[in-house]
Amino acid sequence: MTKKFDGLNDAFNIEGEIVSKDTEIEKIEKIKSSVEDVKKDYEYTRGNLYSLIEKGQEAINGILELAQESEMPRAYEVAGQLIKNVADATDKLMDLQKKLKDVEEDKTKGPTNVTNALFVGSTADLAKLLKNQNLKNEWFFSKINTFIYGQWSNNRCH
């Protein structure tokens, strides 16, 4: 039995054989994050941020005293950078609150958009529904027009 690529094999003076590739598909289990893990991580991160903020405030107090005593520009520069870092840590704390709130809302929130609204009824029922809606719109707009143009004409006359 001749193979499909025998001519190419002869031209390049090589022997070719078809090798089948044996692959095993490994399924990766998706790790489900439980509510307890999220709460635990939140509390841990929150505690670390509080600790960093408190230590940063103590360092700010110390560097400000040093800057006032030495009156060196570098000490004031370091104090300014330290104040910025502590402010960033407080921003991260607020972001953490927001992220936790978003995670909790995502779990409780259902679909918000209705993509396939279905009307069950006859065409006559649909026509009646549309006619009633159109009458409501006409009534509403006539009241608005009366108010607007009535007010405008009354104000213009006076």
CATH of domain 34-107: 1.10.287
What is d(CA 77, CA 71) in angstroms, rounded to the nearest whole number? 11
Domain layout of the chain by residue ranges: 34-107
pLDDT in tens, 28-49: 665 666 777 888 888 999 999 9
What is d(CA 44, CA 91) in angstroms, rounded to the nearest whole number? 17
pLDDT in tens, 97-141: 898 888 777 666 666 676 776 767 788 887 887 788 877 777 777
pTM above 0.95, yes or no: no
One DSSP character per residue, 111-138 reads ----------S-HHHHHHHHHHHHHHHH
